[in-house]
Structure formats: structure tokens, C-alpha cells
């Protein structure tokens, strides 16, 4: 920390999300230049920013309020393609990356009903929800043989950066740590 009493603020969502994807599907970024992101809230912003950092050039943002998705296009530029829920089936045709950043599928919330059948066989499905650990979306994705990343993966990778910022040491996310949590 600086010695001049300066306050600093950080957000580890981007690193957490990208770390979870890299762990779940190490070469995911080489297979796609586009993604479908469900949700346009704060977590969606972090996911979008991370995907842009990795060079994706087309990010379809599906949100129940199209104005929120359009606001992200104003913020991030033409890489953002605002879309409505009724467009989702056509967006998933041969898609290789789907990310849920909504609360749908979370314990106590309505289930997220998405038909993954038309996605590319090497697709990656990420759901940042961590209660339950395996949402119905992720269970369906696993049954279809897709690589999956869950909210606990993201949370653990966020903690790596947070721990490093606080203590100056970068811990490693291991399968034992994941199992313990």
C-alpha cells in the first residue's frame, strides 16, 4: 500500500471470471471471437470487460431490459450487440461461449431455461452463480459434454487477487482448496 495515506479501490471480478474460464477450458480464447452474455448488471460489465481484454470482437448481451444492454454498447462500443431474450435461440447457433451473469438459477430464484442443443460441440458454459454450485444450466451443459465454469471457480480466482493485494503473496487455486470450499 502507498505510504501517503492514499485510498485505493479495486475490483477482482474480471480476474476471477477469466481465471475460472482459463481453468475450466484452458484454450477457450483461441476457439472463439464472440460470446453470448446473459445480463447487463455489474457482474455483466466485469465479464464483458474481461472478454474484451482477451480480444473478443463480438459480445451479444441479452437482457430483459434492452435499454440496459444498449447502455453497455454506449459504454464499451460496437463490440457489444444488444439482444432480447427471444433472440437467444438464434444467438446460440454454433456459439462457443455462453455466460450467465443473472441471478436466474440461483437458490430461491427462478430457473434459467436455455436450450443448449444448438451450441458448438466445444462450447464453454459459465454461470457465475455459486449457490447452488451446479445450476440446472451447468448440469445440462455437463450432460452435453461442454466445459463448464461455476461461480465458486470465479470466487476462488477473485480471492487470489484480493489476498495478494492485502498480504503481498499470491496464493494458488488448487483442486484441494476448491474441494475444501
What span, in angstroms and rounded, lies between the C-alpha atoms of 123 and 148?
9
Contact (Cβ atoms closer than 8 angstroms) between residue 95 and residue 120:
yes
pLDDT of 51-67, one tens digit each?
999 999 999 999 999 99
CA distances to 23, 148, 172 from 175, rounded to whole Å, are 10, 15, 10
| Full-model pTM | 0.92
Of 120, 181, 114, 174, which Cα lies nearest the Cα of 152? 181
Roughly how many angstroms between the first and final C-alpha of the chain, as a whole number? 29
How confident is residue 2, by pLDDT bands cut at 50, 70 and 90?
low
The pLDDT score that the predictor gives to residue 177 is 82
All three cell numbers of 73, joined, read: 454498447
Contact (Cβ atoms closer than 8 angstroms) between residue 126 and residue 21:
yes
pLDDT of 145-170, one tens digit each?
999 999 999 999 999 988 998 899 99
- 4: pLDDT strictly greater than 80: no
All three cell numbers of 97, joined, read: 461461449
How confident is residue 104, by pLDDT bands cut at 50, 70 and 90?
very high
Amino acid at each position: 500500500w502507498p505510504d501517503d495515506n492514499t485510498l485505493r479501490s479495486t475490483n477482482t471480478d474480471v480476474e476471477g471470471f477469466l481465471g475460472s474460464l482459463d481453468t475450466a477450458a484452458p484454450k477457450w480464447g483461441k476457439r472463439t471471437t464472440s460470446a453470448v452474455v446473459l445480463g447487463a448488471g455489474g457482474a455483466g460489465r466485469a465479464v464483458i470487460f474481461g472478454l474484451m481484454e482477451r480480444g473478443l470482437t463480438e459480445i451479444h448481451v441479452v437482457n430483459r431490459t434492452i435499454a440496459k444492454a444498449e447502455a453497455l454498447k454506449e459504454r464499451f462500443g460496437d463490440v457489444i450487440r444488444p439482444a432480447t431474450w427471444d433472440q437467444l435461440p438464434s444467438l446460440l447457433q454454433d456459439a462457443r461461449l455462453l455466460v450467465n451473469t443473472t441471478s436466474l438459477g440461483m437458490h430461491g430464484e427462478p430457473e434459467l431455461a436455455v436450450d443448449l442443443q444448438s451450441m458448438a460441440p466445444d462450447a464453454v458454459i459459465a454461470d457465475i452463480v455459486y449457490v447452488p454450485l451446479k445450476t440446472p444450466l451447468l448440469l445440462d451443459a455437463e450432460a452435453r459434454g461442454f466445459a463448464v465454469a461455476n461461480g465458486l471457480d470465479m470466487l476462488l480466482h477473485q480471492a487470489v487477487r484480493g489476498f495478494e493485494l492485502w498480504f503481498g503473496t499470491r496464493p494458488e487455486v488448487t483442486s484441494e482448496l476448491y474441494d475444501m470450499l
